[in-house]
Chains A and B, each alone.
Chain A
Amino acid sequence: MTIQPERRRPIGPAQPAPSDVELLRAVASGSEAAFAELRDRYGRAVQRVCRSVAGVEREDCEQEVFARIWRKAALYDPARGSAAAWLLTVARRTALNLGAARPPSLPIEDLPAAGERPADLDAFWLQAGLARLPERERTVIELAYYEDLSENAIARRLRVPLGSVKSWKRRGLNRLATLLGEESP
């Protein structure tokens, strides 16, 4: 595994990133840039939802989910739940409809955005949060938590100094915590 140069925008007070709600509003008014940002943030999380629903071809599903988000963003109402909850509901319903043998039966128009299980919503939000981290921070956190590697082992695996691993892990966790504080699902 190698660490690629960073391409993502850093998250911090100097350059505040738009919130998910702001992105959805911009998408509703036809902003392709906002749509691309939203897709960048939630692509991975949506892929995971699609993968978890049996029988759905992953890429077709992700494409369809984002097509629906593009068409239906204006229907999102922040008073009824968080943006992540709405996006998760769209993703799950789309995946279920695609996976169903019969024609679509779950409407997207009237989404109870607060109806998702908290654990599912947390996992969905987490994937989006991880996607917003610079690659090296995300990689270190994933190796630490998902592969249960020590910082020393991560440094050996990535062939980088131990100090860099510690620093990237701290920064990544702090960024995630800040995002969680701003956009708690």
Chain B
Amino acid sequence: MRHEEVWTRLPDLLEDRDDAGLLAHVRVCADCQRQLFLLGRVDRLLRDDAVANAASRKRRRLLRGPLAAAATVATAVAILLALELPQQGRSEAFVLRTASGQSVAQAVMGHADARNVSLALTARGLPIDRGHMFVLWASDDSSSMQVGRFMVDQTGGCRVRFNLPADHPWNHFWVTRRGNAAAVATST
């Protein structure tokens, strides 16, 4: 049996240790012995991880009942509080679109504290052909500011939160590529 063929079939030895053809080559091949040793470690890692994963899934299943009940109570409390307590400020959502009109992100502005508003940016499918780093900008009718930098994943997606000064009526947001403020990727 050729070395390449044995090498390809080495994982079979994890389940069937009696393959005489493979074993005959492995006995005299140091590279195959090392690979078989590593395969054994990988096999053990996968099995251990599968066991840990299954245990974790089981714990989550057991917790799901009480958690669901707790979540229902929490939701009810939140609704009651929302009805009873004076509003700290309403949230406002802005959709960011590419030049072609495609919606790729949403910015939701809400109350943070006395001096700041929070801005939650959720992006899906930002164009990543020239890098994964972007800059978010905001403006009102008289001024603009760089809100902050953020990174997206391989799908151009991210979820990130910023704070902005509350003393401006921010009403326009746009995203540029890092290092090129003119390269607007998306805007409201």
Contact B39 A173 (CB under 8 A): yes
A35: Cβ under 8 A from any B Cβ: yes
> C-beta contact mask, A75-89 vs B, less than 8 Å → 1, else 0?
000000000000000
A141: Cβ under 8 A from any B Cβ: yes
Interface residues of A in 146-169 (CB under 8 A from B): 146, 148, 169
Chain B contacts for A181, CB-based, 8 A: 34-35, 38
Contact B132 A39 (CB under 8 A): yes
> C-beta contact mask, A101-113 vs B, less than 8 Å → 1, else 0?
0000000000000
Q: Number of B residues whose C-beta is below 8 Å from A?
A: 36
Contact B159 A126 (CB under 8 A): no
Residues of B whose CB lies within 8 Å of any CB of A are 7-12, 14, 34-35, 38-39, 41-43, 45-50, 52-54, 56, 128, 131-133, 150-151, 153-154, 158-161
Chain A contacts for B158, CB-based, 8 A: 59, 63
Chain B contacts for A19, CB-based, 8 A: none
A171 to B12, CA, bound (A): 11
A6: Cβ under 8 A from any B Cβ: no
A61 to chain B minimum Cβ distance, whole angstroms, is 10
Chain B contacts for A66, CB-based, 8 A: 151
Chain A contacts for B41, CB-based, 8 A: 177, 180
Chain B contacts for A59, CB-based, 8 A: 158-159
A22: Cβ under 8 A from any B Cβ: no
